[in-house]
Each structure stands twice: as C-alpha cells, then as structure tokens.
Chains A and B, each alone.
Chain A
Amino acid sequence: DQQVKQNSPSLSVQEGRISILNCDYTNSMFDYFLWYKKYPAEGPTFLISISSIKDKNEDGRFTVFLNKSAKHLSLHIVPSQPGDSAVYFCAASRPTGYALNFGKGTSLLVTP
C-alpha cells in the first residue's frame, strides 16, 4: 500500500519559471517529510525537509509547504534552472520509525 503518493510522473517547466511538485500522504502518523533529488545512475540526494510542527521551510530557491489537514506537501523551485532536471522523490517518516517511505517520484524537465 503506497502511503506516499506523487501523482504526476513528469513535469516540464521553462527555465526561470516556478516548478511545483506535489506529494500526498495517507498515514497521519507521519511527522517528518523530505524531498530528495535523483540524477540517473546516482543515489538520491537530500534536498530539503520539514517537520510537521511547521508549514513552510525555505532554503534558497527551494521551498517546501506542508498542509497537514490535507495531508499534502509541495516543493516549489524558483527560479527553475536546467540543472534542476532530475527525478524528485517525496519521503515521509513516523516519529518512532526509522524507515523513509518514498513516493514513486516526479521527473522534472527544465527547458531553456
């Protein structure tokens, strides 16, 4: 049962515009959420995280928003750059669990 869902397999955005990647979760016990970026033939690279006590976390061009009532989070990339083209994974964990539950990923393509 997929507890973390990324319903958009792919997204194409023009350079300089905003990229918005969405993620939904079903397990209300999740309290920590992360975004990872993955290039082909490499392992996932940590990008940004957010605790459930917050609704926003910002790091440079990357902002993650959390809506606990909707069990939804999103990653905003502004402005998007061609080097951002990668697969983005949303992940979540429980307070007493150590495993990360990943979504299937969204492939972002930023075109010049």
Chain B
Amino acid sequence: DTGVSQDPRHKITKRGQNVTFRCDPISEHNRLYWYRQTLGQGPEFLTYFQNEAQLEKSRLLSDRFSAERPKGSFSTLEIQRTEQGDSAMYLCASSLGLGVRNTEAFFGQGTRLTVV
C-alpha cells in the first residue's frame, strides 16, 4: 500500500499522559499536513511541513502540541499532558507541492484519540 499511513489507528489514554502519533506520507510527496476532526465538524488544520521545515501552524496548536518531520520523511505529532478536549480524530495528509500551488492532498485513515 503506497498511501498515507498513520499509526496507531486508535489510542486511549488517561488525562495528563503524553501521546505520540506517527504519519508516513506518500514517498514522493514533499508536503505534509496534520488536521484534527471532531464529531460533526470538518477537518481543522493544525500544521504544515514542506520537507523538514514546519512552515505554518494553526492557533489551534497549543504549546502542548509539537510536530516534527525529521529528514523530511515521516512525521510525528506529540500531545503533552492530554486533556479530554483533545479527544478527536487526528488526520495526516500529504501532497506534491509544485511551486506555491498545491496538488490535491491525500489523507491517511487517521488516529482516533480518546482521553479518559
């Protein structure tokens, strides 16, 4: 399967714990995005990488959230001191950026986080 891969698919954690999610984008894609989706809402943008550089962050990304993309390949999203409000589906997407114009972003299946 050469699509966007996310791990784990599901994560249940206790409030206050730290969690880390991994995303493996489509191999030739240089752009990688993280989105969050809660029930009844569309995906909300969190952050964006072009290769290894994190170029854009949403105000939704509080200081408890950190994302990395070492070497411009896979990416990790870490949430520290989780809160119940962090419960959501975390989606990763990748695209092949040509200049300033994006091509369509391809999404992974997401990681469902439940904070209890």
Contacts and interface: CB of A to CB of B under 8 A. Distances in A.
Contact of A100 (B43, B50, B97): B43
Contacts of B102: 32, 93, 98
Interface string B15-37: 00000000000000001010100
Nearest to A103: B42
A32 B100 CA distance: 12
A101 B44 CA distance: 7
Interface stretch (A14-22, A37-45, A63-71, A72-80): A37-45
A43 B50 CA distance: 21
Given A44-B91, A46-B105, A99 B56 contact: yes
Contacts of A97: 56
A22 B68 CA distance: 36
Interface in A1-34: 4, 6, 32, 34
Given A98-B55, A104-B41, A43 B33 contact: no
Interface residues of B, number: 29
Given A89-B42, A104-B41, A43 B91 contact: yes
B104 A49 contact: yes
A17 B51 CA distance: 44
Contact of B109 (A36, A41, A95, A96): A41
Interface of B: 4, 6, 31, 33, 35, 40-45, 48, 50, 55-56, 58, 91, 93, 97, 100-102, 104-110
22 contacts: A36-B107, A43-B6, A43-B108, A43-B109, A44-B43, A45-B107, A46-B106, A46-B107, A49-B104, A89-B42, A89-B43, A93-B102, A96-B100, A98-B33, A98-B48, A98-B97, A99-B48, A100-B45, A101-B45, A102-B43, A104-B41, A105-B42
